[in-house]
Structure 1
Amino acid sequence: MTNAILRPAARRKFWGWGLEGDGLTRSELEELGATFARRLGIEGVRMQDPPRAEELDLRAPRLSPPASLGPIFSADPYDRAAHTYGRSFRDLVRAFRRDYAHAPDLVAFPRDERDVTSVLEWCSGAGAAAVPFGGGSSVTGGVEPDVGEGYRGAVSVDLRHLDGVLEVDGVSLAARIAGGTLGPAVEAQLKPHGLTLRHFPQSFEWSTLGGWIATRSGGHYATLHTHIDEFVEALRVVTPRGVLETRRLPASGAGPSPEGLFCGSEGTLGVITEAWMRVQPRPGFRAGASVYFADFAAAVNATRALAQSGLNPSNCRLLDHDEALLSGSGDGSRSILVLGFESSDHELGPWLARALEIATGHGGELPDDERDDAAAIWRASFLRGPHIRDGVAQLGLIHETFETAVTWDRFDALHDGVRAAVGRALDETCGGGAMSCRFAYVYPDGPAPYYSVYAPGRPGQELEQWDAIKAAASEAIVALGGTITHHHAVGRDHRPLYLREVPELFTAALQATKAELDPSGIMNPGVLLPPGAAGPTANRRTS
């Protein structure tokens, strides 16, 4: 086994977003703290020092790989710490507490698909859990090796070396891309061909193609092609039972889609090593505008009309009054509808003109100043979001998000119910706080509302405070007809409510599928299904 795994010159933070040295400066942190203190009505904030790898008390690895695989494994404390958590608020709080109880025993860095196969074979024989790891940006516990007691240890399988755009079919507009390819590399390698995948989740910089597919990631488009599923043409997956590869087809009605089995499987059935993805010419035409609404209900009606108009804007994101204020896009007196269209083929003036006609017909107002740039301000805040979340956690405050989707006829009741439930939880656990809402995606039959929560934290109680707020929000969402997640995935955090959302017969079918593809139950135990749910041979111990 070696600890000399090749890494970029600047390492990623093992506890937070981005590279070491990135993020908010000390002065920016102080300014952020002062801003939130004023907004939340508290006297001040406290500054915490980020953890250092050398101060972590990691338990000794319980596993040793065979000599034949030694060169691709690491037990280095930094590698183990960097593969313990995703990037949620819960993960940040535990990192600041120096709580790395669920660190993987080993981290595998397979060099190719053969190595992936060998790692899964060894894990199956050794009774070790295997947790696929792409960019590590999960916000639902999807990469945390909290696998229960039925395993001799846990291995995080880092796919960074399975990367690159491997083949481009310019005739059919498709590209074969390795599963471990980070978002910026996907776009950079498609650009010389004049093509783009155009899938830009907030985690774009530090998330991978395989991770997007495995979690059914939501991306750039606010309407129409909202999820990564829309772009998947074919998949290649390594399962503990062998390699599975689907056919390239533009469409098929031949039974249930085999690609659909792995879209959203979250590493529980195998490792996505390659995918043929539908790509498109890079857009050269763009048009956009912002529309202001004094009344949020009127803005909701305008957004619904746009979603049902067939115009299919690429951007159709509605910010409520508080979201506009907290993002710096507005002064809090109005909601803002951010609209955008793009095309590689034609001018977009008529599309934008009709969209504005619909919006103003519902009471929307165009800005007086043609230089108004609310959309650009919000986008900058959106991209800066992960660094701000890290900073808020470092200041001992609570800042996290949750999202859902619901049909239009149920939105008002859901929105009111969620606001009431979260408001009570904020008062009871934090003494108050703030919550904002935006529509991240919209469909003809319903929106995907996305909520952000801000609250003062009590020293040593921030995790428990957030858990109470999240539980209140989740119960309200499920009771009022929403889904527990629209695009943040299930992971370990959402599993109990996910199992309430899907039919029992479906859960049984998923268990049977897992038992067939993963008979020893090693693949990401505890995600989607409880550990040990793969079948009678799952979670067996070996001595």
Structure 2
Amino acid sequence: MITPSGWWESRRLPGSGAGPNPDRIVIGSEGILGIITEAWMRIQKRPQYRATAAVMFNSWENGYDAVRQIAQAKLWPSNLRILDSDLTADSTGINNGMNLLIIGFESSDLSQKWPLDQAIEIAKLCNGIVTNDNIIIDDGTGTPTGRGGAVGAWRNAFINVGGGLTAGLGMVTGTFETAITWDQWPEFDQKVREATQAALDDVCGGGTVNCRFTHVYPDGPAPYYTYVGNYKKDGYFEQQDAIKIAASDAIISAGGTITHHHAVGRLHKPWYDVERPELFAESLKAMKKVCDPSGILNPGVLIDPA
């Protein structure tokens, strides 16, 4: 990494316990310390074995409990995401109040039938419903595993041609993402949905909020929320801001992070200021002062300009 004060070069190692990891500091710094010019990438062989299943749940609670148990069983699926009933209906056309869980495994060396069977068994114990036509296993033959059934419907909806259509139809829409521990998750989800829905009701006269998990850890999920409401004439950005502020306030007050993978930037900085320890902020300012004495790199991101 090149900084205004000179080069920052770390050693190429598979792992190290020698103090705080300089690579992690750079990765999370959002360009305020320097510009990355060279990086060491980890690669893996192309997967030859794949296995996918779509499981339906009558309740959101049963669905995310199955996700928790699969994650904590250390089966390490490549894809594990649940869609609530509203998102399932919107994206797949399965409009029967069911919540869709997508499970996927892949490997370059081994059949993935066994781990998929284990994950399906856990899902069934949580009252999940899965039919044979929604279980697809490719043992190296090249059989497509993500293009048919409910999984394929979600894939096609996710990779769509959205480009400004909702705005053109007079709709206010947006997304936000976060992460939370499992013990806090049910109450957290309720509070975030309630706050966002209240903002939609106030700003747009109504609307919808739905949720899916984009990432899952043994310790908790990374939920991704989508909201849609009717745009009122004039003040589009003010309407968006009001909804964003309400959702972000709810996330922080309920114990979540202001962003899991979208970064802080300037938009999320007011809530990042609350989330991070103040002593860490002062330490980050000191590091920036050393690397970027004149404060020319991405001023206003993560910390206030000097």
Fold conserved between structures, TM > 0.5: yes
Partner SS for 1:280 = coil
Residue deviations 1:394-416 (CA, integer Å, cap 9, x gap):
33311110011000010111111
Partner of 2:50: 286
Of the three residues 199, 218, 222, the one matched with 1:425 is: 199
For the 8 Å contact 2:180–2:256, the answer to whether it is kept is: yes
Indicate whether 1:463 and 2:227 are aligned: no
Give the Å deviation of 1:307.
Answer: 0.7
Give the Å deviation of 1:378.
Answer: 1.2
Indicate whether 1:493 and 2:257 are aligned: no
The number of residue pairs the alignment matches comes to: 294
For the 8 Å contact 1:418–1:477, the answer to whether it is kept is: yes
| Pairing of 1:135-534 with structure 2 (within 5 A) | 237-328=1-92, 330-367=94-131, 369-370=133-134, 373-384=149-160, 387-388=161-162, 390-530=164-304, 532-533=305-306
Query: Which residues of structure 1 form unaligned runs of 5+?
Result: 1-236, 534-543
Partner SS for 1:477 = helix
For the 8 Å contact 2:55–2:101, the answer to whether it is kept is: yes
In structure 2, relative to structure 1, the CA distance for the partners of 1:343 and 1:519 (3 Å cut) is: same
Give the AA of the match of 1:436. N
Give the Å deviation of 1:368.
Answer: 6.4
Give the AA of the match of 2:301. V
In structure 2, relative to structure 1, the CA distance for the partners of 1:481 and 1:370 (3 Å cut) is: closer
For the 8 Å contact 2:51–2:105, the answer to whether it is kept is: yes
In structure 2, relative to structure 1, the CA distance for the partners of 1:332 and 1:507 (3 Å cut) is: farther
Runs of 4+ in structure 1 over 3 Å off? 367-372
In structure 2, relative to structure 1, the CA distance for the partners of 1:367 and 1:465 (3 Å cut) is: farther
Give the Å deviation of 1:380.
Answer: 2.2
Task: Measure the CA separation in 2 of the matches of 1:354 and 1:288.
Answer: 12
For the 8 Å contact 1:396–1:462, the answer to whether it is kept is: no
Partner SS for 2:47 = coil
Query: Which residues of structure 2 form unaligned runs of 5+?
Result: 136-147
Give the AA of the match of 1:358. I
Give the Å deviation of 1:499.
Answer: 1.1
Partner SS for 1:316 = strand
Residue deviations 1:86-143 (CA, integer Å, cap 9, x gap):
xxxxxxxxxxxxxxxxxxxxxxxxxxxxxxxxxxxxxxxxxxxxxxxxxxxxxxxxxx
Give the Å deviation of 1:337.
Answer: 0.3
- Name which one, 1 or 2, has greater alpha-carbon Rg: 1
In structure 2, relative to structure 1, the CA distance for the partners of 1:247 and 1:325 (3 Å cut) is: same
Identity level (%)? 49
In structure 2, relative to structure 1, the CA distance for the partners of 1:367 and 1:460 (3 Å cut) is: farther
Cα-Cα RMSD: 1.4
Residue deviations 1:457-481 (CA, integer Å, cap 9, x gap):
1232221111111111111111111
In structure 2, relative to structure 1, the CA distance for the partners of 1:368 and 1:352 (3 Å cut) is: closer
For the 8 Å contact 2:53–2:134, the answer to whether it is kept is: no
Partner SS for 2:41 = strand
Partner of 1:174: none
Greater RCO, CA 8 A, separation 6+: 2
Partner SS for 2:298 = coil
In structure 2, relative to structure 1, the CA distance for the partners of 1:249 and 1:390 (3 Å cut) is: same
Give the Å deviation of 1:529.
Answer: 1.2
Residue deviations 1:351-407 (CA, integer Å, cap 9, x gap):
0000000001100001364586211221222222xx415221233311110011000
TM-score, normalised to structure 2's length?
0.93
Task: Measure the CA separation in 2 of the matches of 1:413 and 1:448.
Answer: 15
Give the AA of the match of 1:375. V
